[in-house]
């Protein structure tokens, strides 16, 4: 007999995903790859994958030096790369090629990255679903919201370390080597399937109420964790990390939940230095989660604004 799962806590505690219901992911949701999988991404043709198992990455950036550095790093790591220097050429490349990922600069001539992404998402075929990661130095919370609204899947700030760049591309192409899986995997900010199931079970209005309650509750825990760090209160940090882990995980905020779990573990291990260091990042992850939530559900923006 399987061990019973711990009882979830928090505003989304009573809601579980129904096993029989399958829901459609939003366009920006991350594709799922299992370890060792040879699954064909649904935006690439079967013939192109069968003839070449190498992942293909398109880099759209008008900065020639930056583009060459990125292409060199990825080629050394085993990826096939192509570079273009504007958004219009990026659209054409996606239309006529088979790419597993697009790294998209924002400020480019002819057509910027935001408009190029919107045009790619409007393509009348499966290539409209290719993952697109904003690759830019402009990464304010407002910028992030505009990226998600345009249909981008993720963002990476410039400059970026070579190992972080490779890990990002491995994550989105499903090419993570088995021995690097834990290093490369970063949980998504928001799990669209969980929210889609919540909406299917309880309706949009009730889900909105729960997400507003989550937002307020998460903010309270984040504030308490900040105070715990200031006062070196390890027990207080552990308690709020535990609660935040539960409420964030049950409401689909996987990155926040995973981070809170790491803090709780560090507290239990008595590693106060590491625990307090991790706690300093909670506000940033919560802020990014709120941005994505507002971008995904624009009608919630007014209600969430008061608690953000």
Contact assessment for residue 249 and residue 257, using Cβ atoms and an 8 Å cutoff: yes
Could you tell me if residue 1 is inside a domain?
no
Does the pLDDT value for residue 223 go beyond 70?
yes
pLDDT, one tens digit per residue, over 246-288 is 888 888 898 899 999 999 999 999 999 999 999 999 998 998 8
What percent of the chain has pLDDT above 90?
37
Contact assessment for residue 208 and residue 303, using Cβ atoms and an 8 Å cutoff: yes
Report how far residue 234's alpha carbon sits from residue 308's, in angstroms, rounded to the nearest whole number: 26
Does the pLDDT value for residue 2 go beyond 50?
no
**CATH of residue 300:** 1.20.120
Both 120 and 89 in one domain: the answer is yes
Does the pLDDT value for residue 35 go beyond 90?
no
Mark which of 184, 219, 242 sits at the end of a domain.
184
Contact assessment for residue 25 and residue 196, using Cβ atoms and an 8 Å cutoff: yes
Mark which of 184, 216, 245 sits at the end of a domain.
184
pLDDT, one tens digit per residue, over 198-221 is 788 888 888 888 888 888 899 999
Both 82 and 145 in one domain: the answer is yes
pLDDT of residue 190: 82
Both 204 and 162 in one domain: the answer is no
pLDDT of residue 294: 81
Could you tell me if residue 254 is inside a domain?
yes
pLDDT of residue 159: 78
Report how far residue 189's alpha carbon sits from residue 150's, in angstroms, rounded to the nearest whole number: 17
Q: Mean pLDDT of all residues in the chain? A: 78
The runs of H, that is alpha helices, within 151-281 are 162-173, 181-184, 192-202, 204-231, 234-250, 254-268, 272-279
Does the pLDDT value for residue 235 go beyond 90?
yes
pLDDT of residue 131: 93
Could you tell me if residue 27 is inside a domain?
no
To the nearest 10°, report the CA torsion of 60, 64, 111, 120.
-10
Both 175 and 296 in one domain: the answer is no
CA dihedral over 201, 152, 165, 141, signed as positive or negative: negative
**Continuous segment of H or E residues that includes residue 14:** none
Tell me which of 33 and 124 has the higher pLDDT. Answer: 124
pLDDT of residue 39: 36
Mark which of 184, 200, 230 sits at the end of a domain.
184
pLDDT of residue 76: 86
Residue 280's closest CA among 219, 215, 230, 214? 230
pLDDT of residue 103: 97
Report how far residue 256's alpha carbon sits from residue 134's, in angstroms, rounded to the nearest whole number: 21
Which stretch of 58-62, 83-87, 289-293 has the lowest confidence by average pLDDT? 289-293
pLDDT of residue 295: 80
What percent of the chain has pLDDT above 70?
77
pLDDT of residue 211: 87
pLDDT, one tens digit per residue, over 102-147 is 999 999 999 999 999 999 999 989 899 999 999 887 677 778 888 8
- The sheet carrying 154-157 orders its strands as 80-84, 56-60, 101-104, 132-136, 154-157
pLDDT, one tens digit per residue, over 139-174 is 777 788 888 888 998 888 887 878 888 888 988 887
Does the pLDDT value for residue 75 go beyond 70?
yes
Both 285 and 219 in one domain: the answer is yes
Both 133 and 172 in one domain: the answer is yes
Report how far residue 261's alpha carbon sits from residue 238's, in angstroms, rounded to the nearest whole number: 9
Residue 113 structural domain: 49-184
């Amino acid at each position: 007999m399987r061990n019973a799962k711990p009882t979830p806590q928090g505003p989304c505690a009573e809601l579980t995903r129904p096993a029989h219901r399958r829901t459609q992911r939003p366009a920006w949701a991350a594709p799922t790859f299992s370890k060792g999988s040879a699954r064909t991404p649904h935006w690439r043709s079967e013939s192109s994958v069968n003839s070449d198992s190498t992942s293909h990455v398109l880099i759209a950036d008008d900065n020639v030096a930056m583009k060459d550095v990125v292409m060199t790093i990825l080629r050394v790591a085993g990826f096939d790369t192509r570079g273009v220097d504007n958004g219009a050429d990026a659209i054409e490349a996606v239309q006529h090629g088979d790419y597993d990922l697009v790294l998209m600069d924002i400020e480019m001539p002819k057509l910027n990255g935001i408009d190029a992404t919107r045009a790619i998402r409007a393509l009348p075929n499966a290539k409209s679903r290719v993952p697109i990661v904003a690759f830019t130095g402009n990464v304010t919370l407002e910028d992030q919201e505009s990226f998600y609204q345009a249909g981008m899947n993720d963002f990476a700030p410039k400059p970026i370390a070579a190992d972080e760049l490779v890990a990002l591309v491995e994550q989105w192409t499903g090419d993570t080597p088995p021995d690097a899986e834990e290093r490369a995997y970063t949980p998504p900010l928001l799990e669209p399937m969980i929210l889609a199931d919540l909406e299917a079970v309880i309706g949009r209005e009730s889900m909105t109420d729960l997400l507003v309650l989550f937002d307020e509750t998460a903010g309270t825990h984040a504030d308490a964790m900040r105070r715990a760090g200031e006062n070196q209160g390890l027990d207080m940090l552990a308690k709020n990390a535990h609660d935040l882990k539960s409420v964030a995980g049950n409401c689909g905020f996987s990155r926040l939940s995973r981070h809170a779990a790491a803090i709780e573990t560090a507290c239990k291990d008595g590693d106060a230095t590491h625990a307090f260091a991790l706690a300093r990042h909670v506000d940033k992850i919560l802020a990014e989660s709120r941005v994505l939530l507002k971008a995904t559900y624009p009608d919630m923006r007014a209600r969430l604004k008061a608690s953000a």
